[in-house]
Homo-oligomer: A and B are copies of this chain.
Amino acid sequence: MSLDNSWKGIDRHGMLLAFDEAQNSYQQGGIPIGSVLLVQDPTESDGYKILGSGHNERIQKSSATLHGEISALENAGRLRAEIYRKATIIPRVVIGENTTFMGGEVLLQQSGVEVVVQDRQDCKDLMQKFISEKPGEWNEDIGEVADRD
């Protein structure tokens, strides 16, 4: 799927907010992954509306399920199906970088989800810093068998 031009500026804004969430998580001692759920909205001055944002809470809340994206969805509360259907991160996913770790991108694309990778250096730097400091926490997060830090 090709990138709709109307998303470009919105994606840049959205990623700044997601990165801010990631930095907050890092400062709390947590895994630095943030996420934002948003929709295009022409009635808003910037053309979009943030529905929810969040970050990985696995360390902070000892939670097995609160990865970054789930936190954003959870913080957005219960929304109608027609809203999810037009929202980033549902039919389209924007990723800061996937050099450090490749997730389910291929599976998403095979299911018709638009995947945009921004390949940002600041995202790589933050994640590499975390991994070098807490390799066991990272390995647990990605499901690798390893001792905790």
- Interface, chain A (partner B; CB < 8 A): 58, 62-66, 70, 73-74, 76-82, 84-85, 139-140, 143-146
B84 touching A58, Cβ below 8 Å? no
Query: With A65-B65, A65-B70, A70-B65 in contact, do A145 and B78 touch (Cβ < 8 Å)?
Result: no
Residues of B within 8 A of A143 (CB): 81, 84
Among B62, B78, B144, point to the contact of A77 (Cβ < 8 A). B62
With A84-B143, A143-B84 known as contacts, the answer to whether A74 contacts B63 (CB < 8 A) is yes
Compute how far the CA of A139 lies from the CA of B63 in the bound complex, rounded to whole angstroms: 28
Contacts of A70 in B (CB 8 A): 65, 70
